[in-house]
Amino acid sequence: MADQEPVTKTAALIAQKAPYGVDVEAGKTYYWCACGRSAKQPFCDGSHKGTGITPLAHQAEKSAKVWMCGCKATKTPPFCDGTHKSL
Ligand code: FES
Ligand code: FES
């Protein structure tokens, strides 16, 4: 039997070229949309199906306002690292 081809990843889309400010609660897990297709940014709504991209689970350590990446090009997901400024 031939090896299966690896699933080809579709490129992430830019949801917006700016972060989303969200209030997270300590201990709660959030699923950050990595594909850019969710209608509930910055969180996953299942729209990644078929892209080969999966959401990133992030457990908040403390209750605080955080800035989650909207451009999906950050090198420190799920958080904005300023990469959106050069897109
Ligand atoms: Fe984008 Fe799930 S909808 S990762
Ligand atoms: Fe993606 Fe800032 S919004 S790096």
> pLDDT tens across 2-33, in order?
565 555 678 999 999 999 999 999 999 999 99
Phi and psi at 65, nearest 5°, equal -90, 130
Nearest alpha carbon, ligand 1 atom 2? 44
Distance 39 CA to ligand 1 centre (A): 9
> pLDDT tens across 64-86, in order?
999 999 999 999 999 999 999 99
> pLDDT tens across 31-55, in order?
999 999 999 999 999 999 999 999 9
What's the pLDDT at 9? Answer: 72
* The pair of three-digit structure tokens given for residue 64, joined into one six-digit string: 């605080």
Cα separation values, 59 from 14, 17, 77, Å: 23, 24, 12
What's the pLDDT at 7? Answer: 58
With a Cβ cut-off of 6 Å, ligand 2 is lined by 18-19, 69-71, 73-74, 80-84
Atom of ligand 1 nearest to the CA of 47: 3
Report d(CA 63, CA 27) in Å as an integer: 8
